Amino acid sequence: MLTDEIYQEALSIADEHYATDVRVGLGYTAVALEDGRCGLAYTLHEGEYESCTVIAEAGTLAGRKASELISWMKQLDVTACAVGLATANALIRIPPAAAESDILDLLPVQPEDAVGMIGYFGPLVGPIRERARMLHVFERKPIPDLGVLPDSAAGDLLPQCQIVVLSATTLLNHTIDALLDSCKAAREIAILGPSTPLLPEPFRKRGVTILSGVQVIDTPRVLRVVSEAGGTRSFGKAIRKLTLHMQA
């Protein structure tokens, strides 16, 4: 599975790094390391919790070795998985080829193309609809008024798409492997969002051509925003939005 490969890559560079701060906010989860680096992952809400405790080990995470926390990526619990993925994103070194680019400039959408989008990326929807023959947007909770389909329809429609945009939150609920298997006909596959690990090889071998994530450059600011239930817009200049365009 893709998550296993990301885990192994992150483990190989974990060394003696450890977490100094772990924040599980309503919008994002952040993990800061002892060297000042910080990683993010979306805090995915897939159901109601039955008690006031979401992570049983809360109060003991800061100070743990990064190698231990990244293993949480493989847990089925999406909150624990976010802690693991955020730790991995803190560890992963930014590739030199990653640049501050507009994802729309890198997606070569043609008038005859069908585009599939897993996760509703509002700023991209309008421009892609103007360029493409068709745009299919999928979410766990469909929004008929916005033309958003249930994710159960993705298996039938993604194989018909030439361009696919996938939210990196699919790493958290472990649906990404099946979704990528449905994208065999796509000539461009982009993984988007602050949860995206900027780690080329595991994605490239699965046909992914674009990784679009973030680099935290102001860790204290990001930790505060996460704690105060902020999201991407609230991070402002505390992050850099980076895109890595790869050859499949």
> Residue 145: its pLDDT value, please?
82
> Residue 182: its pLDDT value, please?
95
Residues 89 and 125 in one domain: no
Residue 79: partners with Cβ closer than 8 Å, 6 or more residues away: 24, 29, 43, 44, 54, 55
Residues 231 and 201 in one domain: no
Residues 76 and 9 in one domain: yes
Q: Is residue 98 in some structural domain?
A: no
| Percentage of the chain modeled with pLDDT above 70 | 98
Residues 114 and 63 in one domain: no
Half-sphere exposure of 95 (CA within 13 A, CB side): 17
- Cβ–Cβ < 8 Å for 28, 11: no
Please tell me the total count of domains within the chain. Answer: 2
Q: Is residue 240 in some structural domain?
A: no
Residues 204 and 226 in one domain: no
Q: Is residue 61 in some structural domain?
A: yes
* C-alpha dihedral sign at 170, 176, 179, 183: positive
Q: Is residue 178 in some structural domain?
A: yes
Residues 78 and 124 in one domain: no
Q: Is residue 247 in some structural domain?
A: no
Residues 69 and 110 in one domain: no
Identify each DSSP E strand in 45-133 by its residue range: 114-118
What type of residue sits at position 9? E
Residues 108 and 205 in one domain: yes
> Residue 48: its pLDDT value, please?
65
Domain that holds residue 72: 2-93+218-235
> Residue 247: its pLDDT value, please?
66
Cα separation, 36 vs 212, in Å, equals: 22
Residues 85 and 122 in one domain: no
Q: Rounded mean pLDDT of the chain? A: 94
CATH number at residue 161: 3.40.50.11590
Packed helices 78-91 and 2-12: angle between N→C axes, nearest 10 degrees: 40
Q: Is residue 123 in some structural domain?
A: yes
Residues 223 and 202 in one domain: no
Residues 66 and 17 in one domain: yes
Please list the pLDDT of the chain residue by residue as tens digits (248 residues).
999 999 999 999 999 999 999 999 999 999 999 999 999 999 998 766 678 889 999 999 999 999 999 999 999 999 999 999 999 999 999 999 999 988 888 898 999 999 999 999 999 999 999 999 999 999 988 888 888 999 899 999 999 999 999 999 999 999 999 999 999 889 999 999 999 999 999 999 999 999 999 999 999 999 999 999 999 999 999 999 999 998 64
Residues 9 and 88 in one domain: yes
Q: Is residue 146 in some structural domain?
A: yes
| Percentage of the chain modeled with pLDDT above 90 | 86
Q: Is residue 175 in some structural domain?
A: yes
CATH number at residue 58: 3.30.390.100
